[in-house]
A = this chain, B = another copy of it.
Amino acid sequence: MPNNQFKRGELYSVINGMASTAVARRLQKNFRMAGLEITIEQWSVLYHLWKEDCLSQQELCNRTFRDKPSITRLIDNLEKQKLVRRIPSKSDRRINLVCLTDAAQALQSQTIDLANQTMNEALIGVNKEDIEVVKQVFQRVYDNLT
């Protein structure tokens, strides 16, 4: 087996198991230490709604790279916590618009600060050019496979 094939296997395990979960775990831990009951998955949905409120579930699928059942249940849980509401679209009755509650609006600055602190900590010693390379590689990989 050619040597460079195993190198790609190693890259695979790096991508899937290491840095991303380390960041996710740390951010989750920081939420918990701050007394915030939300998961990072829930936060990632709120993050997109803070940028643009009242998106359809399908649009949240596209923006968070999740499938429809995953979004359905994330919205279920966010609704239980009274952070979002499903509002039926008037123009298309198949569509639910997912809208933030006041409680979710209030969470924004607190969690964004924690996320930024976490990313700052994660990216110590990483220069901006390398971050751009990572983003470009990931976009390319995503485009190659979808």
Contacts and interface: CB of A to CB of B under 8 A. Distances in A.
Contact of A12 (B5, B115, B133): B115
A25 to B, nearest CB: 8
Given A23-B141, A145-B22, A131 B11 contact: yes
A66 B14 CA distance: 12
A141 B9 contact: no
Given A17-B64, A121-B145, A124-B144, A12 B8 contact: no
B119 A9 contact: yes
Interface in A5-52: 5, 8-27, 40, 44, 47
B12 A23 contact: yes
Interface of A: 1, 5, 8-27, 40, 44, 47, 64-66, 112, 115-116, 119-126, 130-131, 133-142, 144-146
